[in-house]
Structure 1
Amino acid sequence: MPEDTVKHIDFTELNKKAISKPLISHIYTADPSAHVFNGKIYIYPSHDIDAGEAFDDLGSHFAMEDYHVISMDSINSEAVDNGVALHVKDIPWAEKQLWAPDAHEKDGKYYLFFPAKAYDGIFRIGVAISASPTGPFTAQPEAIKGSFSIDPAVFKDDDGNYYMYFGGLWGGQLQRWRSESFNPDEPKNPTAFIPKDNEPALLPLVAKLTDDLLEFSESPKQLEILDAAGNLLLAGDIGRRFFEASWMHKYNGNYYFSYSTGDTHLICYAIGDNPYGPFTFQGILLEPVVGWTSHHSICEVENKWYLFYHDSSLSNGVTHLRSVKLAEITYNVDGTIVPLKPYTD
């Protein structure tokens, strides 16, 4: 939402109109990845702090240093902050910026997947392991080989295979990998190497994980997002094209890939028939929230489906101080999702 618009918002009134309240309010949290493990809800967000960094399109002001895990006994119960689960100082290869994570479980172990900027200034994706869904997590000494960019989301399919979806534009550096190797950041322009408006948009990546969930078992593949005519979405189609915040879930046998459009502040989704796509664009899932970013997850809890998301209403619109929320989503008979408005009229 534009800064000039935020300045004129009455946040007392806005919060009355919000369809959901922050799950916790003693710290700022964002980018929630929600899962149900052993009948309990666990949310893996990023932890927003005010580090005094300059606001820029590289995301320098998103200077997160650690992760907390939020747990809930049920969808209506109090959310509990379980404290620091992993800190950047305990990740050998990472220098800074612990951005949006995800987590999953296998054989009684819990795996935290996270992006961080390495000492060479390049975003990589790492893995940390714990015996508990709330941590503490112990990071692997190196990032995943062949990983790059941000926003890992790990999906477990019905056959037991795990897939990671990832990628993000601008500060997420995806555009700097168009040649399959990192293009030097000169000039330091977050939109350098972005395709022209009439060219196909940059695409998110997907890779199956190894059995131990610690590496890619294959080279990452592009995940195609198509329009109704079967054409790739164009870079200039900023109301529909992928920007960041990949998420995958499955409903009635179909695969739903959802994502953020970034600078147009929408959560959109597309549907396919397998984990690799292609996926056909369907529409908007969540309309813009207060705050520049939009990032989400979708989780089934006791036969109902919920969208976990964030906004900046608690911080009166401060872009990098966000709060995690949730709201129920519903499906139409044809499998499309009923769009959500974050605030009532």
Structure 2
Amino acid sequence: MWKKCSLFLFVLALVWSCTSEVPASAASSTIAKHIGNSNPLIDHHLGADPFALTYNGRVYIYMSSDNYEYNSDGTIKDNSFANLKSVFVISSADMVNWTDHGAIPVAGANGANGGKGIAKWAGASWAPTAAVKKINGKDKFFLYFANGTGGIGVLTADSPIGPWTDPLGKALVTTKTPGMSDVVWLFDPAVLVDDDGTGYLYTGGGIPGGSTPTQEQRANPKTARVLKLGADMTSVVGSASMIDAPFILEDSGIHKYNGIYYYSYCINFGGVHPANIPGGQIGYMTSTSPMGPFTYAGHFLKNPASFFKAGGNNHHAVFNFKGEWYVAYHAQTVSLALFGEGKGYRSPHINKLVHRADGSIQEVAANYAGVAQLDNLDPYQRVEAETFGWNRGILTEKSSAIGGPVNNQHVTGIHNGDWIAVGNADFGSIGAKTFKANVASITGGKIEVRLDSVTGKLAGTLNVPSTGGEQTWRELETTVSGATGIHNVFFVFTGNATDSLFNFDYWQFTKNNATAVAAGGTTYEADKDTTLVNSVVRSTYLDNKPIQYVDFTAMSEASIQWNSINCALAGTKNVKFKYALERGIRNLDVYVNGTKVISDAAFDATGSWGIWEEKTIQIPMSSGINTLKVVTTGTEGPNLKSIHISSQ
């Protein structure tokens, strides 16, 4: 639970709470991410050394687990980095609304992470970096981290949010790795999977000479390295190559643009610097080869102190998302807002990065405004409550609620007057009919659904009774009105002012009936009037109601055939599959009237066998009665509940 991390935030919530309900209008304040801004990405907890991985239309940010440290009298200590034993993960499809995926308990030595640490040999997990690579036909994810300054470890998973395992049981890179013996600080990894699938790991830093380095040692530390990774991404090929990065301190970064490799890093602070290599900023070098040699080319990101009044170390990651380039970095904005000084506690930020026509990088303009929302949010799909753009007073913690993503979280620490909000929810022209939420409560309270502001138009109110416990979950629903078009949506929490009201797992709106009528089409269940080969009907619950679905058994050419699809007219139809798939990607061949019409239709993971999503495929059909069959291309497929067929 984040309560220890956010003690001050918790106290603020109590201050706002009196002996009766506080009007929502009295509680519009945020900590550091103010309504309409995108930076910092989150402010309900911290996160340092951000690295960005883009995958399937989302960007995942992996961060060191900055958590507040306290003196015996409850005051905040300066950050000693003693809490960097986990990796925090958040993700977004639009760069404003971020989903909190909780903490990966990486370090496992000496009982770290409550004895649940994954890497039992590691005492710390600093500055994570991540990569995805297709291995044996499946996407595999790799999370690299620093065990303090003494080595680099790696975890693997089948999804970007886990679950994670330690494939080696030891460090991947140490000072005994060929070419690494002269590295002062073996930490701050960055990873690149090149166009040919070859992986490269960049790491190192520090200044030789101990506490009294010479000017030459500061100017040419020679402590950066690049290593070629094996095809499995968990081994090293050959010896590391030295990157002669001038005035390097730490923070390796790597990206490729127009065939040029950009190695970037944090410039050190000491000694006499030439004007083009300013201390504490992010410098960069270029090469035509991922292994170098690299040539110094300039700098592009000033120290955070230049923008946010609190400085400290500078850490970054350059990435491309939906056709644009960005840089993720950290700054002490949240701790500054809470305590009036940063004290070394970092939070993640993103701003746009521009490559000039000559290949040089334009100076980044870091600010609180950040990146404008890239896409609208669909309120008619299940949205995790721990997905929000802005908030006041809440925390997040690991949840026992079923049906969510890996390491599912929920919103907690909810008191009277607290709220969360999402940016640019698109209700369409017909609008919403109902709002439902999955909640757990001893005390109870209300969720006010408001449009555009904390005190904006009240679209509906959901009454939350006691469900019998803080982890006893119940889905509740209420009607809403006036929710049409695009709005920021605020979920304002009210109730007994002296108690925590309830926990909040997910929410979803449903469309007005007119939308469903306009859409037309017919739904065909997978368990009715179908022929099953090597597949079986099973039962589960959806929206607290029993449903049947078909499960492909682990045999080759398992299939489901719908036998009586009636089409008034011939032509291409929209066939919407309702399916669930915990992880990975599974493919199906599609047959109509005995003829294969589509090969290897890919079904992406929904995140859990309890999460049902929809995938639409355009499929040609004849007039009259048709059969439609889907066949596994390997030995497994997604679980299928139904298909919905309509004209294009």
TM-score range, shorter chain: 0.7 to 0.9
The CA deviation at 1:343 is 4.5
Find the partner of 1:273 among 288, 300, 303.
288
Establish whether residue 244 from structure 1 lines up as the match of residue 250 from structure 2.
Answer: yes
Partner of 2:193: 156
Partner of 1:207: 227
Q: What is the DSSP-based 3-state SS (H/G/I as helix, E as strand, rest coil) of the residue aligned with 1:305?
A: strand
- Return the letter of the residue paired with 2:260: N
Partner of 2:53: 35
The CA deviation at 1:304 is 0.7
CA contact (8 A) 1:168 1:243 kept: yes
Q: Distance in 2 between matches of 1:282 and 1:127?
A: 31
The CA deviation at 1:69 is 1.3
Q: Distance in 2 between matches of 1:145 and 1:246?
A: 15
C-alpha spacing 1:206/1:314, structure 2 compared with 1 (3 Å) = same
Relative contact order, CA 8 A, sep 6+: which one is greater? 1
The CA deviation at 1:136 is 2.7
**Aligned residues between the structures:** 290
Q: Distance in 2 between matches of 1:134 and 1:222?
A: 32
Partner of 2:216: 198
Q: Which moved more, 1:77-86 or 1:193-202?
A: 193-202
Q: What is the DSSP-based 3-state SS (H/G/I as helix, E as strand, rest coil) of the residue aligned with 1:336?
A: coil
CA contact (8 A) 2:133 2:197 kept: no
Q: Distance in 2 between matches of 1:293 and 1:93?
A: 27
Q: What is the DSSP-based 3-state SS (H/G/I as helix, E as strand, rest coil) of the residue aligned with 1:315?
A: helix
Establish whether residue 342 from structure 1 lines up as the match of residue 366 from structure 2.
Answer: yes
Q: What is the DSSP-based 3-state SS (H/G/I as helix, E as strand, rest coil) of the residue aligned with 2:330?
A: strand
Q: Distance in 2 between matches of 1:195 and 1:157?
A: 36
> 1:1-345 maps to which residues of 2 (within 5 A)?
21-52=39-70, 60-75=80-95, 77-89=96-108, 90=117, 91-95=119-123, 97-107=124-134, 108-117=139-148, 123-139=150-166, 140-146=168-174, 149-169=186-206, 175=208, 192=210, 196-199=214-217, 200-225=220-245, 233=246, 241-263=247-269, 264-289=279-304, 290-316=310-336, 317-343=341-367
Q: Distance in 1 between matches of 2:212 and 2:289?
A: 28
CA contact (8 A) 1:99 1:150 kept: yes
Q: Distance in 2 between matches of 1:326 and 1:267?
A: 15
The CA deviation at 1:341 is 3.6
- Return the letter of the residue paired with 1:64: L
- Return the letter of the residue paired with 1:221: S
C-alpha spacing 1:276/1:145, structure 2 compared with 1 (3 Å) = closer
CA contact (8 A) 1:50 1:320 kept: no
TM, length-normalised to structure 2:
0.42
After superposition, give the CA deviation of every residue in 1:264-306 in whole Å (9 maximum; x if it has no partner): 3211111111112222222221111023111010111111100
C-alpha spacing 1:52/1:141, structure 2 compared with 1 (3 Å) = farther
Q: What is the DSSP-based 3-state SS (H/G/I as helix, E as strand, rest coil) of the residue aligned with 2:239?
A: coil
After superposition, give the CA deviation of every residue in 1:18-39 in whole Å (9 maximum; x if it has no partner): x951111111101111011122
Larger Rg: 2
Q: Distance in 2 between matches of 1:262 and 1:42?
A: 28
CA contact (8 A) 1:207 1:220 kept: yes
Higher strand share: 2
- Return the letter of the residue paired with 2:195: D
- Structure 1, unpaired ranges of 5+: 1-11, 176-190, 226-232, 234-240
Q: Distance in 2 between matches of 1:194 and 1:255?
A: 34
- Return the letter of the residue paired with 1:113: Y
Q: Distance in 2 between matches of 1:24 and 1:250?
A: 28
The CA deviation at 1:201 is 2.4
The CA deviation at 1:256 is 0.7
CA contact (8 A) 2:187 2:204 kept: yes
Identity %: 33
What is the aligned-residue RMSD (CA, Å)? 2.7
The CA deviation at 1:247 is 0.8
Q: Distance in 1 between matches of 2:212 and 2:163?
A: 38
After superposition, give the CA deviation of every residue in 1:128-152 in whole Å (9 maximum; x if it has no partner): 1111101231123111154571011
CA contact (8 A) 1:86 1:137 kept: no
Q: What is the DSSP-based 3-state SS (H/G/I as helix, E as strand, rest coil) of the residue aligned with 2:248?
A: coil
Q: Distance in 2 between matches of 1:202 and 1:63?
A: 29
Q: What is the DSSP-based 3-state SS (H/G/I as helix, E as strand, rest coil) of the residue aligned with 2:126?
A: coil
Partner of 2:451: none
